[in-house]
């Protein structure tokens, strides 16, 4: 049985080794990242069986993506390899007083060329949950349509579906982003936007009105990421807030939202979706906040994700006994 399936793009990530500006850098470290695989790897580190659906090029970067995912126990049975396009890559440039800058080289990439014809019902077989992000919807028109078809199929097969809009304006124009994201919204059970993303989708409304607008689309659970102010959750007629997990200093914010999502899903997956309670959802936010905060302490997009023992220690549930 697979707990979580995700569909999307995982790329090779380069970063100037000493944190210099890109234009002056001579040496780069190489790793792998992508919003969906960041979530899958974080879940895998918590011993959750996970599967990735994608396509890479028949090139060394594709090999690197596959190698990394397999090493992190992500099922790659349905990651196709093609001769027709290259694996996407991107660069992350540190900015001392701000979030890092990201430079993409992924237009026409192997992952962006998956089409509806590639869809296989086997992707979702034996799986409990599908996780998707708006990044996949932004890759190409076909990619959006394939994503939509996969979400519809997941619902038909009885999987729960989570959706993080993960809006990246470098990948699409604002009108297309809004139209496509709103089209996908009714196909999820759990929606995980940041506050600014929710305001982009439903402008000029109070938070309460924004939440009502999402609920009208049939979305059961709305999880609001409030960054350094913690998180909130709206479900049934309930609303809870959770204070942030304290950290002294943020080293790298990229990937924190994905770790947050993995933490939330880790708790949510074991709940009875018909009878969600406040203490259960509070626990999901507690774990999500802790995972998101912990990830900001590491340079990579997923490398800092805690295993079960580290997570328990973070939550003050048991002390590590390694000294």
How big is the site for ligand KDG, counted in residues (CB under 6 A)?
Answer: 12
**Does the protein bind ligand KDG through residue 33 (CB under 6 A)?**
yes
**Does the protein bind ligand KDG through residue 135 (CB under 6 A)?**
yes
Contacts of 116-119 spanning 24+ positions with Cβ under 8 A = 116/142, 116/145, 116/146, 116/149, 118/55, 118/80, 118/146, 119/146, 119/149, 119/150, 119/153
Closest CB to ligand KDG among residues 33, 293: 33
Minimal distance, residue 212 CB to ligand KDG, in Å: 28
**Does the protein bind ligand KDG through residue 165 (CB under 6 A)?**
no
**Does the protein bind ligand KDG through residue 168 (CB under 6 A)?**
yes
**Does the protein bind ligand KDG through residue 254 (CB under 6 A)?**
yes
Contact 15, 92 (CB under 8 A): yes
Residue 128 token pair: 């409990």
Closest CB to ligand KDG among residues 102, 145: 102
Closest CB to ligand KDG among residues 78, 104: 104
Rule CB under 6 A: which of 78-107 touch ligand KDG?
A: 102
Choose which of 62, 165, 194, 257 interacts with ligand KDG (CB under 6 A).
257
- With contacts defined by CB under 6 A, name the span among 28-36, 40-48, 55-63, 215-223 that binds ligand KDG: 28-36
Distance CA 322, CA 309 (A): 11
Encode 98-132: b = buried (16+ Cβ within 10 Å), e = exposed. eeeeeeeebeebbbbbbeeeebeeebbeebbbbbb
Closest CB to ligand KDG among residues 102, 240: 102
Minimal distance, residue 320 CB to ligand KDG, in Å: 28
Minimal distance, residue 92 CB to ligand KDG, in Å: 8
Name the residues annotated as catalytic: 258
Cα dist from 64 to 10, 13, 32, 56, 89, whole Å = 10, 10, 8, 10, 11
Distance CA 54, CA 52 (A): 6
Residues of this chain that interact with ligand KDG (CB under 6 A) are 33-35, 38, 102, 135, 168, 254-255, 257-258, 301
């Amino acid at each position: 049985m697979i707990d979580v399936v995700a569909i999307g793009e995982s790329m090779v990530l380069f970063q100037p080794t000493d944190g210099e500006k890109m234009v002056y850098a001579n040496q780069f470290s190489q790793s792998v990242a992508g919003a969906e695989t960041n979530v899958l790897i974080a879940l895998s580190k918590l011993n959750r069986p996970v599967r990735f659906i994608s396509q890479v090029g028949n090139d060394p970067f594709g090999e690197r993506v596959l190698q990394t995912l397999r090493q992190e126990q992500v099922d790659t049975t349905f990651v196709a390899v093609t001769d027709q396009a290259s694996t996407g890559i991107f660069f992350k440039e540190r900015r001392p007083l701000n979030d890092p800058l990201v430079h993409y080289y992924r237009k026409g990439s192997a992952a962006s060329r998956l089409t509806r014809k590639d869809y296989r019902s086997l992707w979702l077989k034996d799986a409990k949950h599908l996780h998707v992000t708006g990044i996949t919807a932004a890759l190409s028109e076909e990619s959006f349509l394939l994503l939509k078809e996969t979400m519809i199929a997941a619902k038909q097969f009885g999987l729960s579906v989570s959706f993080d809009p993960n809006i990246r304006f470098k990948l699409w124009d604002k009108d297309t982003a809004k139209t496509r994201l709103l089209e996908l919204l009714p196909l999820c059970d759990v929606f995980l936007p940041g506050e600014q993303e929710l305001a982009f989708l439903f402008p000029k409304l109070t938070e309460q009105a924004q939440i009502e607008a999402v609920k009208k689309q049939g979305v059961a659970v709305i999880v609001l990421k409030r960054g350094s102010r913690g998180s909130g959750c709206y479900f049934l007629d309930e609303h809870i807030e959770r204070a942030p997990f304290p950290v002294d200093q943020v080293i790298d914010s990229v990937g924190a939202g994905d770790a947050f999502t993995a933490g939330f899903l880790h708790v949510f997956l074991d709940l009875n979706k018909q009878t969600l309670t406040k203490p259960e959802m509070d626990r999901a936010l507690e774990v999500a906040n802790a995972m998101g905060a912990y990830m900001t302490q590491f340079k990579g997009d997923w490398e800092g994700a805690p295993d079960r023992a580290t997570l328990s220690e973070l939550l003050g549930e048991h002390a590590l006994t390694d000294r």
